[in-house]
Amino acid sequence: AQSVTQPDIHITVSEGASLELRCNYSYGATPYLFWYVQSPGQGLQLLLKYFSGDTLVQGIKGFEAEFKRSQSSFNLRKPSVHWSDAAEYFCAVGPNQGGKLIFGQGTELSVKP
Amino acid sequence: DTGVSQNPRHKITKRGQNVTFRCDPISEHNRLYWYRQTLGQGPEFLTYFQNEAQLEKSRLLSDRFSAERPKGSFSTLEIQRTEQGDSAMYLCASSPLESEAFFGQGTRLTVV
């Protein structure tokens, strides 16, 4: 079955601390992987995507993610979190770059001052 | 270009009533997608269009749900005989062919 698992429902980090959000996927074909962010009452904004090439991809707002095929993982990282990063983060997988995606259940990030 | 626009932003309806939502995609985006997101969950794919053709429908899309995209521009999603379980955020997204999707802000439906 095709699925995306985000093991952490809620994470709290201190402002300035580093962040890693976990994502594991199960997908039969070559996966196209995405991370989206959603602020309260808002739609989803694409942070970054991976489909080939360098397994470490850079995104917007200082985020990066690393694709590890052997672990079926695509974890999101940021070296130093800002209070404005507090939001819900979704990992997703699809058959191509388009919008037919399978999403994880999300990780809510809280940032302590 | 102001992005993907969804109307209304909020809708409260009584159980059994019909509701219709509208999505205006980014101009010249060939593909348009509908998702449903319930509280505490990620978005779930419902259906998508390429131009005016509806190419795929999820099993989540019961026969009470219907989507259209006349002339390949805006799209509507209608829910007939609403049930409390239909309460959710309905998200629309659009993309060029084989490129990443841009999401609207969604329509929050509450069925009372």
SS (H, E, C) B18-85: CEEEEEECCCCCCEEEEEEECCCCCCEEEEEEECCEEEEECCCCCCCEEEECHHHCCEEEEECCCCHH
**Cβ pair A100:B100 closer than 8 A:** no
Between residues 8 and 67 of chain A, which touch chain B (CB distance below 8 Å)? 9, 34, 36, 41-46, 49
B34 shares contact with chain A (CB less than 8 Å): no
SS3 A60: helix
pLDDT higher than 80, residue A11: yes
Residue of B33, B97, B105 with shortest CB distance to A100: B33
Mean pLDDT in residue range A50-60: 93
Tokens 């259940």 correspond to: A105
Report pLDDT digits (tens) over B35-82. 999 998 999 999 999 999 999 999 888 899 999 999 889 999 999 999
**Cβ pair A105:B40 closer than 8 A:** yes
At A52 the pLDDT is 86
pLDDT higher than 80, residue B2: no
